[in-house]
Amino acid sequence: MNLPIYDVIIIGAGASGLICARECAQSGKKTLLLEKDALPARKILASGNGRCNLTNAQASPAFYHADPSLITQTLATFTFQNCLDYFARLGVLTAEEGQGRVFPAAGKSTAVAEPLKIAAAEAGAEIQTSQEVTRIKRGKTFSVYTRQGSIFQAHYLVLACGSCAYPQLTGTQSGYELARSLGHTLITPRPVLSGLCIKESAFARLSGIRCQVRLCALQNGRILDQAEGEVLFTNYGLNGPAALNISSAVSRALPKGNVNLELNFFPQLADPTDFLKKRLAAFPNRRPKDFFAGILHESVANLLIDFIGLRKNHPMAAQTPNTLERLVKIPSGWPLTAVGVRPWNEAMAAAGGVNTREINYNTFESLKCTGLYITGELLDVDGKSGGFNLHFAWASGFIAAQAISKEN
């Protein structure tokens, strides 16, 4: 059977796959983009609560869990400004919001996904959906086999399959298996950017309440990560930006045992302990509930009162020295225990994946299989919430395409 041979086949029409396809086709390469789902870009459409936080002005290695050399090189090659300029050339109008987050000005993720798909098609990339790749054979060319019975061939192959996060939105293990079949090793994938399950069941009393906090994760006395922002209390524990942003560190540490958390309800104060001591001196005759009025959510205050052991009908001046000592310390360092991270169907990203030491940091070409490139979330790279993961996906797809475009 004489099959048409493409210059490059890209598996996965997500963020890195679409940008890679557009750039390869733009350079004159005969390009085929295969997507197992009926619709491309489903994760892009769902990102940022449907608004698509496509990059962040603060993009730097500090916002990623990955080999620092890889991230430094990638962000230097495809900078924040490069990203803005790229989408501007595609006709996407963007707007920067708080904390450096950038969204399409239209306010919908379709304003990013549709221009990308249109640009890839206009450049000449062939996009085939509902084609699930199950096997790859490496010979003089790459032979790609799909569950639907199709066989495709190409000189170069890009695995842009994404991770197993959000299986309801095309998340799959298949990319890992394809990479392994071509000689790569995996760092065990774990769900990240997901809620934290905590041991202390009493916190379920706060379910539905949101607070601005600083959240710190520790193990064996060592700080793993910390984040400041909103936390949402749930019946299983903690969600919201602050919890999501330390979830990677927690997820990676949990195999070694439970992870300790410290919850600071006064992140805006330089010295919360001194603040509470002065408040005690100012309001010695207030009962505990009234003492916390104006500084803590009422439900948080009630749980704190029970946790500390304050006598509810006694003024602060009549409380025991031990409870008063706990009162000035606990609100800025409330101890919790993380026992798990919420499952894949709630995780926005994955820690782990293809070992990045097995790829060329300048090109994203495999060091195990010549002509193979691996991009995006399939790699052992994960960023914090705020557009950092999408920026890496764009960057890796773009850089891989530039390298392929230079090949004869």
Q: Residue holding tokens 């809620």?
A: 195
Mean of the pLDDT values across residues 34-43? Answer: 94
Query: What residue ranges in 314-400 does DSSP mark as E strands?
Result: 334-341, 349-354, 372-374, 382-383
Provide the pLDDT for residue 18. Answer: 98
Residue 26 near residue 123, CB atoms below 8 Å: yes
* Mean pLDDT value across residues 192-216: 97
Residue 1 has pLDDT above 60, yes or no: no
Read off the pLDDT of residues 356-378 as tens digits, 9 standing for 90 and up. Answer: 999 999 999 999 999 999 999 99
Mean pLDDT of 296-308: 96
DSSP string covering 357-373, please? GGB-TTT-BBSSSTTEE
Which whole number is the average pLDDT over 12-27?
98
Q: What integer pLDDT is reported at residue 4 of this predicted model?
A: 86
Rounded mean pLDDT, 310-316: 95
Helices 42-50 & 15-26, crossing angle to 10 degrees? 130
Q: Which of 238, 253, 262 is nearest to 190 (CA)?
A: 253
Which strand (E) or helix (H) includes residue 316?
none
The identity of residue 347, as a single letter, is A
- What is the DSSP track for 70-128? HHHHHHHHS-HHHHHHHHHHTT--EEE-GGGEEEETTSSTHHHHHHHHHHHHHHT-EEE
Got the DSSP string for 1-43? ----EEEEEEE--SHHHHHHHHHHHHTT--EEEE-SSSSS-HH
Confidence of residue 169 (pLDDT cuts 50, 70, 90): confident
Q: How far is residue 164's CA from residue 190's CA, in Å, rounded to a whole number?
A: 9
Chain-wide mean pLDDT for the chain?
96
Hey, which residues does 143 pair with through a beta bridge? Answer: 137, 153
- Residue pointed to by tokens 């090659």: 77
Spatial separation of the C-alpha atoms in residues 115 and 264, rounded to whole Å: 43
What token pair was written down for 21? 């396809």
Q: What is the pLDDT of residue 2?
A: 67
The set of residues, in sequence order, having a beta carbon less than 8 Å from that of 102 and lying 6+ positions away, is 53, 54, 55, 56, 57, 84, 94, 95, 96, 387
Delineate the domains of the chain, giving CATH numbers in brackets: 5-191+345-405 (3.50.50.60), 195-342 (no CATH)
Looking at residue 103, what is its pLDDT? 97
Q: Within 10 Å of residue 47's Cβ, how many Cβ atoms?
A: 23
Q: Of 406, 360, 405, 402, which is closest to residue 82 (Cα–Cα)?
A: 402
Residue 7 has pLDDT above 90, yes or no: yes
Is the per-residue pLDDT at 348 higher than 90?
yes
Are 50 and 106 a contacting pair, CB within 8 Å?
A: no
Q: For 75-124, write each residue's pLDDT tens digit.
A: 999 999 999 999 999 999 999 999 999 999 999 999 999 999 999 999 99
